[in-house]
Structure 1
Amino acid sequence: MGVSMKIGKIEKINKFGQFYDFNWPSDLDEFNKYNFFYGWNYSGKTTLSRIFKCLELKKLHNDYQNASFRIKTDNGTLTEKNLDTDCPIRVFNEDFIEDNFDWNNEDAEIEPVLILGKESKDLKNELKKKQQEKKDKEEIKTNKEQQKKGKENEIQDKLTSKAREIREILSITNQKEFDKNTLEQNINQIEDNYLIKILSVEELNTLRSFISSQKLDKINTPPIKLKLSQFTDDIKQILNRKVTAQNIIEALKQNDSLSRWVREGLGLHKGETKCQFCGNSLTPERIEELNKHFSQEYDSLISTIKQKEDELNEHTNSIKEYSFPDKARFYEEFQEQYEKLLESFNQKKSEYVSTIKKLTEELERKGKKPFDVLSIDQSIDNTIGNEIDDIFKEIQNLIKKHNDKVDSFVQKKEKSKEKIKLHYIAEFIKDQNYFSLKQDIENLEKEIKELENGIKEDEDKIKDINIRISDSAIGAERLNKYLNNFFNDDSLRIENTNNGKYKLYRNGQIAKDLSTGEKNIISLIYFFVKLEETNFNLGSAVIFIDDPVSSLDANHIHRVYSFLNSKIKTLGQLFITTHNFDFFNLLKDVYRYDLQNKEGNFYLIKKIRDNQNYSSSIEMLPELLKKFKSEYNYIFYLLNTFNNLSDKSKFDQLYLLPNILRRFFEMYLFMKYPDGEKFKNKANKFFGDEDNSEKTMTLKIMDEYSHEENPEHSLRFPDIQELSTAVEFVLKSLEKKDKEHYDSLCESFNII
């Protein structure tokens, strides 16, 4: 921070809490580099710090929106109207602790978490709010989802029931063919005109009667494969073949049976030298003679003939086995014609088989005369195949007519079923308010989607807040360093959590309860650590520390003093207020020994009564308070001053007098009777047991009108005469019962 500033004086304060109409006194020294304030509780110390806080935050305090002030600085004048001015000011007071310190111990089952830093605390509150918003949305979403699920189940149950009913009406046995999903698709298809699909009772009954009638099956026949023409050509070629032998044996040529016998025998006698039939020798010459008759060409022809005979036999069997369906499968109108065509077909089929047999006989004839060229039998008529084809086509045409009629029946029946189906679907839509239910579900889906988007936005926001909390967290290392130095051990230790918060340990165990003093110490340390880690230039800044030892024991007071003493010289300008006189004495030592009595001023903040109004004022610290290290002398001085006034109503701290009187008397009794007895018992012991009106009134005033924890005690302010009597009674009793002590007090401010 490049801006530096020093505050000279507060020229005017109006309607800012207890500073109702303050004007800087002409005899009051302007602020110095080091400024130390002493004041009792409710004197206006915290209110003064809040004026400085306005400069830090660049806005008026929420409780004092109508306040005004004018502050003189070395950079000019600051008022409530130019709070946007950059001011290097940081304030530590109870508001800072409230804003920056959150001890989360709401649930005993959860380890307490410490949140330090105003930004972290604000973010934590924002996080809590956002988490609650997310939770609320999730609860609403769950409720909406349950509503949606209920309506969906209602629709699905109705769809399932209606789909089952329609399947039964239409005799649909396969559930998958028409289930609730199919029904839903059909509903969507007729959404715009479903009412016109509803049939009259007469139409519905007619259609239902038709779909219950029976239908014949369609007829399918395989094609017939005729090969007569091809076989005829093949056999002509075989008959036209002629075997040319090297040496024809005439006897074998003329006798087919003998030729086959010899040919087979020749194969059986390979490698033999004797005839297995007669036992005579087989000469090589005879074997060679026979082989020249049965040539390779001969074998090829015989093999071809055998192969073709097999083909003819196989074809003959396939033709014999071919058949058409029984006439009963045809509609009656087609049966007579079918029967005639079938008779013609079977007749021609027999002729066809006979013709194939003739071709087989031709092959046998050729086998007997392999050495001759033969002509095919002219009686073989291969046109019989064409005749069979013609009859087959006529039968197929008749089958087609039958199948067309079957198809027409099915189509008509399917159309009837479709009309019936749509009728019941339309009735379902109308009777069940189907589209109204669907609209309800659609609306719920939209609301759920909006809630999901809202929850997603909340989740993103929560994630962002957690990141910001983590980013804003001050490192625990430096906090622990200061805590260690402060307590001179590591019994109190802070650890960062993953979400930018802290956990506090005492002697290695989670610290579940913090005293007010411990909270103030951690907050004060955090105050300085935050300034250091944010690179705030302390050397050019104004630091205001309000009552840093509130609610601390004597041991902690000295530690706070040591901690602040290590920081004071690094600050541009310092303001410290306190109600604790022991701590104030330590500040006087800082000024005297560490600051060498330089650049410092001491002030007194007190509450005075002015024109029936109570307001705070600032004045230079009385020499008595500055000189002595006990406020005991100062309080006695105030009581003595009041006692000597001729017009006691002019005493500017009149409303505090019951408090002052009790405070003085408590201190005295503590020194005289350090036995732990109660105040009232000690007072009676000092005054004596005798009853008198002055003692009774004095004890009543000190008991009923001096409770400084109750700021409203001034509303029950005692009579001035009663107060004067009580002060005089205490002082005279002290002089009478402990004159040496009384005289020493008087000598301390030279009034004798």
Structure 2
Amino acid sequence: MSGQIKKIDSIKGMAVYDDFQWSSSMRGAGNNISEFKKLNILYGRNYSGKTTLSRIIRALETGTISDKYGSPKFQLSFDGGSTATQSSLSNHGQIVRVFNEDFVRDNLRFIVDDERTINSFAILGEDNTKLEEEIEKHEAELGSEEEKYGLLGELLGAEEKFNGAQKDHDDKSSELEGKLRDKANQAGTGIKHNKTFGDANYNVTRIKADISTVTKDTYSPLTDEQVVRFHDLLREEPKSEILESPTFNLQYSAISSKAKELIEKKIQASDPIQELLNDAALALWVRSGRDHHQEKRDKCAFCGEDLPEDLWEKLDKHFNKESEELRQALETLLGLIERERSRAPNLLKIKNSDFYSNFTVDLDLLSEQLSTLSESYSESLDSIEEQVEKRRDDIFTPLEFEVSETVEGALNAVRESYEELRSASNQLTASLSADQSEARAALRLHEVYTFTNDIKYEDECTAIESFNMAMGEAKKAKSIVKEKVDVKREKIAVLKAQLKDESKGADRVNDYLNNFFGHQYLSLKAIEEKLGDASSGYRFEVIRNDNKAFHLSEGECSLIAFCYFMAKLEDIETKGNQPIIWIDDPISSLDANHIFFVYSLINAEIVTPEKYEDGDEIKERDRFKQLFISTHNLDFLKYLKRLPGAFNKNKSQYFIITRTNQVSKITLMPRYLKDYVTEFNFLFHQIYKCAHAQIESDENHDCYYNFGNNARKFLEAFLYYKYPNAVERDNKLARFFGDDALASSLTDRINNEFSHLEGVFERSVLPVDVPEMKTTANFILRKIQEKDPDQYSALLQSIGVENS
């Protein structure tokens, strides 16, 4: 049944609950964590913390927690997944009803103060047959969530459909969200951890923004070449500034012009020697020989003959000043040509390492062009040189100058292109950081674009939107049905309000007092307030023998309070709503007969299903959603075991509340206490635990600490039935231990010193002597086994221990 309390997860700073944790305290078979069931029975001695638990549950009913607690903290879990804490007491959505001393103080103030009245409450009145029939009709139309019929059944179906649609939507959204989260920041593969993208703060929000960018029509994916270029750019380190290249200052135009002038220049000898004019090679030979003979030899070095006396004069007239000046000009020009040609290969030194990698292609192209043009430039100079040499060798014969195609402009263009690249590279140094940031952003978007294609992001979004539409339709359908349910409930509430009859509340209390407890002389009376009084409606008074009662005994107060609570479960706000009920120790100050009647009232009016008509059928339905009963009384605990379903493991659960020093905890009830319901078995178990504890620890400290008291009480009961005869100054311990005087003496000492502090106050400030405790516990067990092996075996079985 939905809405049940599963567990009290934690309690801190509330009376004896210092730091209670359900998960560590409530371990059952297989070390599994046990939970509350439909029927829950809690046993604990007085002052163990039962009422504190009831106050936590009552806070769920009233919406407030006592201000007497300093800083209370607690949390409860419901099986629907919701929780309740000290700061969220009203969000659980359940009807809760709690009987404890706070309920008595708030509702039955007369019991606390004779001058105060008792709060009245309304139950269904009489003589309203038509209204009841109309209410039944509307309640039938409203239906039941548990039985899944009527509007509530329809609403449950609509909620299940909505929850299913919501789950499909949430699962698909979570799946996509997980993919985005992994892509954004998963260690090793996420964009956040990729140094290429350089964004240590990248997260799901950022990747969603990037997806929004790359899924627009305006986004253009990067080409493979762009990806490579951006990666190369990111590997770049800032370069030094590249200095401007020297200007070429090419001399080709000047050389060509000068060559044309000299080659085509016309000159004449003063008295030319025709033979030399006719043979340029001979003229060159003669001129060269002149330098070897004039003013150096008298005879010809070639033939040995004497040189003619007028030879030098003739030659001077042939090789005159004008020809020599032309020859010298041609030689000078040849030197200029040689120097210019030697410059051609070194006009521009291109070093790719000075530039960023994205300039490599352009630089390689320029280098290739420069090499080709330099070679062409040298060839043009060679052509001029050849013509100049030819004129020099035939100085008196003018030639027509042949102009070669010049590459001077192309070479200068290469330099201009180089300068443009140099300027761009220097500019890139200044903007490298910004350009790399743009490159990272472009590569990141490209990565996200690729990712969206890989996971078929648009298909995922389409599927989510489809689930969202289905969820919206299911939510709309649920809202329509819920509105019908709310209208129906409001109609039922209006009709029930017309049935309110506060005077019947007192009658119901009296019915319980008379029918279950036989207290005809004690009753409640509903007194209608007169017009003009500050209050309106009714007030209740306790009546004894037709007079207002005063000075009620504790037992009478307990009976009236519990009957009042039971009757109030029939009030207009509670009846039919299947509340969560918590009853805290309802048999205080009651005798044995009254204890049984309290049990009978709970069984008849709460646990036994309610019969109702459904058409021609008589059906049953539970009166409560979940029931908790706490008690300190073993007789009452024994009766509670008779409740229907009390031993159904799927419907019931038993707990024990134990207190050690100033701290309490809740644990599962030991089997022997649940099965046998006797303190005698409990005390035997404590002695057995002390005898067999392996180590001294926090877990078994309480069995040592309480050993003296437990052993004394156990031996008093055991020895009374062992030796029931009354003998003056009878030493039953000595009779029990027989010849074992040490065991008798040690047991007597521990029983007296460790179960009482009177006269041995120093005992309270000394640590517990564990070895003595274990020794005495073993003495007791061994003697029981020796005296009565059958009883010893039965006692072991009662605490779940096999006798070896």
Q: TM-score, normalised by structure 2?
A: 0.42
Structure number with the higher helix fraction is 1
Q: TM-score, normalised by structure 1?
A: 0.44
Larger radius of gyration: 1
